[in-house]
Structure 1
Amino acid sequence: MLVLNLRRQISLQNGLSLCKRNSAMNQNIYQFLHRSKLPTYYFQKSLPRLPIPKLPLTIARFLAAVQPIIDQEEYDRTVRITADFLRGDGAELQQLLRNHDKLNSHSSYISKPWFDMYLSDRSPLPLNYNPLLIMKHDPLKENQDQLLRATNLVISSMRFWRSLQAGLLEPEIYHLNAKKSDTESFRKIMRFVPQRVATYAAYAFKAFPLDMSQYNRLFGVSRIPGKGKDSLVQNKNSKHILVIRGGNLYSVDVLDERGNIEKPDVILRRLQNVLIQADSYGAATVPIGPLTAIHRDEWATLRQYLADNIGGGENKQLLETEVDAALFCLCLDTPDSPIYSEENVVPLIKNLLAGDGINRWFDKSISLIVTADGTAAVNFEHSWGDGVAVLRYFNEIYVETIKNAFAKPGTTLPDAENINGVRPIKLKTDEIIESAVKKAITNNNHIMEQFNVNMLKFPHINKGICKRLGVSPDAIMQISFQVAYKRAFNDYVGTYESCSTAAFRHGRTETVRPCTMATKRVCESLERKQLDLNELFSLIKQCSIVHSELTKNAAMGQGFDRHLFALRHQAELHGKRVHGLYESDAYAKINHNIISTSTLASDALLAGAFGPVVRDGLGIAYSIQNDYCGAIVSSYEKQRNGKEFVDSLETAFCDISNILEKVSNYT
């Protein structure tokens, strides 16, 4: 009997030990989104440096880009100006830029001046800089509940962040041949390759590692307004997020004292407590969020006043420790805010992109917005980084929340009295702040009344038909924009398409200039209707070749925009006169980007949008998928008629679609 009892005791102890080990293992799995065999920054040291283009090539590319948008007389004048630049100032500035680049081998020649450009701009962040990505809905309707979805997105965000901090997030790699390189064998081989040459070894597998220096700023970062120039602050050790409901601010802990992610039921309960408190309290009488949407110098003055002159130092502490240091911002919109409607998604887009600012804090690096119907979106501050890092984060958390939701319907919640970690952020105000907030809300509402969004979804142009005919899908979209603009406004204008240079260390972006002499010939030929089908398609194909070459050059750091920008920066840095090239009509016109475009390719994306970069411009977020293409076009009332453009775009799509389909039928 004693032996039997001893055996039972040992068995029970072993069982308890096993349960503890399993619990620890499950908890460990819960803490990380990835457990990469290759450290996150494995390729970072061996990434090639962003090349400084040869000056004559930059000038030739500049001239090719301005030729379609200026008349012959202005073009001839520009040729003379650029020739003078090449002979004189340009060569000197090029040498200064090379010297600067050698002294900063850890970075790229564009990184710091590009940061400074963003942070020095005094324009309000919403519409001018902060873009929007709207997430597809959860296929399971019960998981679409606002609190559940918010909880799962917070958990997945923290799993992403903890994986990144621990070096366990998979390195960002563009796989040209995924079957060959996106494999376990590739990873095993790469583990034995020294980090100093890892990138070049990956090239042998047609795998192209990308710069990940921006990832570190995804969380815990705030843009702080300053007079003349803003700054970025970061707290990597934060354990809380900023939650906003009805303009009320809350600090909510999502990590415990050891830095581990809190359990799903705890996070769910804390967010529920925010809703209960905020909704019982009602809308904030003086919401501070709208001030993050105003002119940066004005916000800088008001923030300093709020921090230093009111609250005896408490406001300053709350702003710095609870708002600025928060890992990210979670905006839980109230039921009276716009929700998703398939018939008319425009009100939702406008609210998520900017709105009145009451339930937003635009200064945070990432704002995760969840509406009353569970529609989720990311609105991000742009100075710290570009779309590559944000889209990776966006895709990862979407996939996990629909495949591996940790908070589920019916989750048992802890008793309210056992839940802490929710702290209202009560900023004290006075008449000056109250007046400024009212003015900001009124101004934001006025801007949104003038802000238009028009959409088009076209089913007859898709990736498949483009690939069958050997033309670039992206080129087809860009040709269509040029045709549409010419028909609507009878002109050719500065056109911007963003292209990532993340294949290089601290690369950011380069500009593709889609308005070319090739696209101009397509536009004019379609209008004259004198060419037969084969001749029209030949022009389209030639345009595709030109566009693909421009895109390739841009991705390889061989555009002209960033180079000329950096040369001008060197002139200013060294107190030299700015050459006449930068004051020419051609330079002004190419940089007045009336058509600003960005492609959105993601299986997680429901829609995306951004504002025009100039008041009389168009902001075109576009996509071409396997079964359709489409665009979301933003514009300002009485500045540029977005509806007229979209109507013309539909006819352009129809004409180009007819050509592609007929050629496809013949081949």
Structure 2
Amino acid sequence: MLKLHSLKYCVGNSHFRLLQPLTSSVDNAFKSYSSASDRDFLHRSILPTDHFQASLPRLPIPQLEDTLHKYLECQRQILTDDEYDQTADIVNNFKANEGPDLQKRLIAKDKQNKHTSYITKPWFDMYLKSRSPIVLNYNPFMSFQDDPRPEYQNQLIRSTNMIVSSLKFMKTLRANILEPDIYHLFPAKSDNMRFRKIMRMIPSSFAFYGAYLYKAFPLDMSQYKNLFNSTRIPRRGKDELVVNKEAKHMLVMRNGHFYVFDVLDSDGHVIEPGVIMSCVNQIMKDQSPPSTEPVAVFTAEDRDVWASYREKLISLGNEETLKLIDSAVFALCLEDGKPTDPNAITRMFLHGEAGRIWFDKSLSLIMTGSGNACVNFEHAWGDGVAVLRYFNEVFDDSTMKSVVHPSTPVQDNPANVKKLEFKLDQEMKDNLQKSVKKFNATMQSLDVDHLEYYKYTKKYVKKSGMSPDALMQLAIQMAYYRQYKQTVATYESCSTAAFKHGRTETIRPATAETKRACALFVDKNHPEPSVEELKNAMMACSKKHGSLTRNAAMGKGFDRHLFGLKTLAEEEDGKLPQMFRDPNYQKINHIILSTSTVSSPAILIGGFAPVTQNGYGVGYSIEESRIGFNVTSYPPARDAPGFIECVTKSLDDMYEVLEGRHPKRSK
């Protein structure tokens, strides 16, 4: 199975990695439904959603010396000897001169903002100040597994069930009765009703420490508020995130047209599912040809260009229409196509046709004509933790507690569906056509390929003594090494949600250990290594990767710290120390291999585009019955199908080693 981007949790783009599934499935942790209004909720947690938020630990600022040591260790793998020596001199100069003062000021600023983390504002600004189009550069997608009941795998039925489940999630969250996100190190000890009752008695200001005694680690949930009624609005220089909780309607897009209808009544209750189903059906029956003026394509433009176009749209009398789009609970994008090929599905869900997705919406649910569904999300507001929680809850609720069925009657012509129309002058019509041409050219430049691999599974890899994620990352390193005989800057995202307002930290999987393993498996200019030597090299990679992952999850990587120091120097000093002007600092942050994984039984496939023109976007997952890779690139700079071939060969070779056999060397 596959994941996304962080994705592009992507990263540029922030991609993401979760510690493990975050939510409890213990049924008796929730009170039973007691009134009709309970039909509006997923469950009623006896622990308030925000119970631990006030007591979460703050993201630590690493020691400067540790950060610089890790930075040089990582640079060692991708630089020549001369380049490394030059960068080491620059780093040592920074450590002796500007570094300590910047570190002192960063710590002081952090102490003045104890309500948040030192990285929160710079990270938000990094996204919102970027002028690059968000489609391909930032927005990732995650695709749902099919409904296990074939008769429910229907565009109308599944759309309705997912709409209602989404609304239930939103209302449960806003009622503060959504089960808090907790990482249970020993689930048998803490993932039960007794633990929850004890935690409920502990004041919120100390609750985290009570959970810690049980080796249970509550996670930050501050991003969840941006899931619904939320959008990113283009502004010149820096965009704005806006949430309007008062809106009661949702947005539906089909063939480039816009529709809205209420999904909550005047009291805030979820509209009857049959009425919602009838509204969706009415939109599906609209025989209007595809729009020749698909205004949504503007959301795929350069952000300053889109900002200027939005200002023009408002001046033409479209302000109320834009407000309806911006404030909608979320967007449902209905596609008539029924792709079955994984590459075609990736294209539809990642970017689609021009004007079919309003990319600025925090959350868009895309549904194909055959009932395949995905989430495409804007990335500035948050990372994969909140999206994955939503994703899992909606899949479970919509498949196990369906509110409409194949036998549900469909009403005709519900009164509350409104089709939105934009007022355009000739200048804006011309701009639309230019944007459509640009969009099509950009999307055609992207290549996509996919791999499903069945030789070994997560359980098999764990039994071998190796970390499943380490094996996948080694396969990625080895694949690139086979193609280009190089080790390059690599990004894997790791969530820092264990801390208040944590975002992500970077894992740097290109290590001395992976470099050595790649050479042993691939190079032919030295004696052939033994099976034992190859296996030991793999295990060394696993050990190192585990250490990197733990450090990243605990806020002890080097990337966010350096980013914080760099941002502080820019904002307060107006100039950058030589370290951040070093071409090799740019090199390590020019990500060639942008990778991300999320594991969930609800996810079928996920993906994101490369973050650089000469890079790869690698979404991957290792599940109980398969391995999946979803790879994107921009040819001719990179070759996604060729990379997939090299991944396959690398997985084959490592499987042979784990089975105690010598892999066959390529001729």
CA contact (8 A) 1:333 1:371 kept: yes
Cα distance change on mapping 1:641 and 1:206 into 2, 3 Å: same
Give the paired residue count: 627
Does 2:483 align with 1:485? no
Does 2:570 align with 1:572? yes
Q: Give 1:531's aligned residue.
A: 529
Q: Give 2:368's aligned residue.
A: 371
Moved more, 611-620 or 634-643: 634-643
Does 2:335 align with 1:333? yes
Q: Give 1:395's aligned residue.
A: 392
Which has the higher relative contact order, 1 or 2, with Cα contacts under 8 A spaced 6 or more apart? 2
Amino acid across the alignment from 1:299? W
Please give the alpha-carbon distance, in whole angstroms, between the structure 1 residues aligned to 2:504 and 2:74: 18
Deviation (angstroms), 1:91: 0.7
Q: Give 1:324's aligned residue.
A: 326
Please say which structure displays the higher CA radius of gyration.
1
Decide which of 298, 301, 305 is 1:291's aligned counterpart: 298
CA contact (8 A) 1:355 1:444 kept: no
Deviation (angstroms), 1:28: 1.6
Amino acid across the alignment from 2:113? N
**SS of corresponding position for 2:90:** helix
**SS of corresponding position for 1:662:** coil
What aligned pairs does 1:111-510 form with structure 2 within 5 A after superposition? 111-276=120-285, 279-308=286-315, 310-311=316-317, 315-320=318-323, 322-334=324-336, 337=337, 339-341=338-340, 344-416=341-413, 419-510=414-505
**SS of corresponding position for 2:606:** strand
CA contact (8 A) 1:597 1:619 kept: yes
Please give the alpha-carbon distance, in whole angstroms, between the structure 2 residues aligned to 1:282 and 1:170: 44
Please give the alpha-carbon distance, in whole angstroms, between the structure 1 residues aligned to 2:292 and 2:528: 65
Please give the alpha-carbon distance, in whole angstroms, between the structure 2 residues aligned to 1:603 and 1:218: 22
Please give the alpha-carbon distance, in whole angstroms, between the structure 2 residues aligned to 1:275 and 1:649: 41
Please give the alpha-carbon distance, in whole angstroms, between the structure 2 residues aligned to 1:176 and 1:74: 43
Does 2:34 align with 1:39? no
Q: Give 1:72's aligned residue.
A: 81
For normalisation by structure 1, the TM-score amounts to 0.92
Deviation (angstroms), 1:356: 2.5
CA contact (8 A) 2:78 2:489 kept: yes
Please give the alpha-carbon distance, in whole angstroms, between the structure 2 residues aligned to 1:290 and 1:179: 50
Q: Give 1:58's aligned residue.
A: 67
Tell me the alpha carbon deviations over residues 317-359 of structure 1, each in whole angstroms, 9 at most, x when there is no partner.
2212x1111111110112xx3x241xx2211210110022321
Deviation (angstroms), 1:625: 1.2
CA contact (8 A) 2:37 2:269 kept: no
Tell me the alpha carbon deviations over residues 367-400 of structure 1, each in whole angstroms, 9 at most, x when there is no partner.
0011111111100000000000001000100011
Please give the alpha-carbon distance, in whole angstroms, between the structure 2 residues aligned to 1:263 and 1:355: 31
Tell me the alpha carbon deviations over residues 506-546 of structure 1, each in whole angstroms, 9 at most, x when there is no partner.
00000000000111110111124532111111111111111
Deviation (angstroms), 1:465: 2.3
Deviation (angstroms), 1:421: 2.3
Structure number with higher helix proportion: 1
Tell me the alpha carbon deviations over residues 418-477 of structure 1, each in whole angstroms, 9 at most, x when there is no partner.
x33211111111111211221222222212221111111221232122211221111111
CA contact (8 A) 2:250 2:329 kept: yes
CA contact (8 A) 1:324 1:364 kept: yes
Deviation (angstroms), 1:194: 1.7
Amino acid across the alignment from 2:520? S
Deviation (angstroms), 1:272: 1.4
Amino acid across the alignment from 1:564? L
Deviation (angstroms), 1:414: 4.0
Moved more, 610-619 or 653-662: 653-662
Runs of 5+ unmatched residues, structure 2: 1-32, 663-667
Deviation (angstroms), 1:26: 5.3
CA contact (8 A) 2:447 2:633 kept: yes
**SS of corresponding position for 1:454:** strand
**SS of corresponding position for 1:456:** strand
Deviation (angstroms), 1:663: 7.5
**SS of corresponding position for 1:242:** strand
Please give the alpha-carbon distance, in whole angstroms, between the structure 2 residues aligned to 1:421 and 1:563: 51
Tell me the alpha carbon deviations over residues 597-626 of structure 1, each in whole angstroms, 9 at most, x when there is no partner.
001201000100100000110000000112
CA contact (8 A) 1:45 1:196 kept: yes
**SS of corresponding position for 1:244:** strand
Tell me the alpha carbon deviations over residues 136-160 of structure 1, each in whole angstroms, 9 at most, x when there is no partner.
1111122111111111100000000
For normalisation by structure 2, the TM-score amounts to 0.92
Please give the alpha-carbon distance, in whole angstroms, between the structure 1 residues aligned to 2:581 and 2:333: 43
Please give the alpha-carbon distance, in whole angstroms, between the structure 2 residues aligned to 1:139 and 1:462: 22
CA contact (8 A) 1:356 1:441 kept: no
Q: Aligned Cα RMSD in Å? A: 1.4
Please give the alpha-carbon distance, in whole angstroms, between the structure 2 residues aligned to 1:532 and 1:540: 13
Please give the alpha-carbon distance, in whole angstroms, between the structure 1 residues aligned to 2:573 and 2:582: 20
CA contact (8 A) 1:66 1:590 kept: yes
CA contact (8 A) 1:131 1:609 kept: yes
Cα distance change on mapping 1:259 and 1:494 into 2, 3 Å: same
Please give the alpha-carbon distance, in whole angstroms, between the structure 1 residues aligned to 2:155 and 2:461: 40
Runs of 5+ unmatched residues, structure 1: 1-23
Deviation (angstroms), 1:84: 0.7
Identical counterparts, % of pairs = 44
Q: Give 1:8's aligned residue.
A: none
